[in-house]
Amino acid sequence: MDYENAVTLTAVEGDLVKWAERDEGGEDRPTCFHNWKFDEDQLRIIRAACANPYAAAIIAHVMSFVTDEEGLTIIAEVLGNY
């Protein structure tokens, strides 16, 4: 493992929250999404859920286990409703 470039879950959570708080005009995705191929609707759903820091923390954890975009989006959609 490359410890210099290791990303912690706390860092991912922070990136997701900052991304959700940014003006939507700046469409830069968080670096944790570099291996994901989300469409615009999926990004919108995930972004809305990440406005809640607790949901962002859950999404950060789930990204380690869920390997497809649709699965992560469904989880974000459920979290966004609570």
pLDDT value of position 62: 92
Alpha carbons 76 and 36: distance in angstroms, whole number: 15
pLDDT value of position 1: 42
Q: Which residues of the chain have pLDDT under 70?
A: 1-6, 24-27
CA angle 77/81/82 to nearest 5° reads: 125
Residue 80, both tokens: 């966004």
Alpha carbons 17 and 15: distance in angstroms, whole number: 6
Alpha carbons 35 and 79: distance in angstroms, whole number: 22
Query: Taking the domains of the chain in order of start, what are their residue ranges?
Result: 9-22+36-80
pLDDT value of position 4: 53
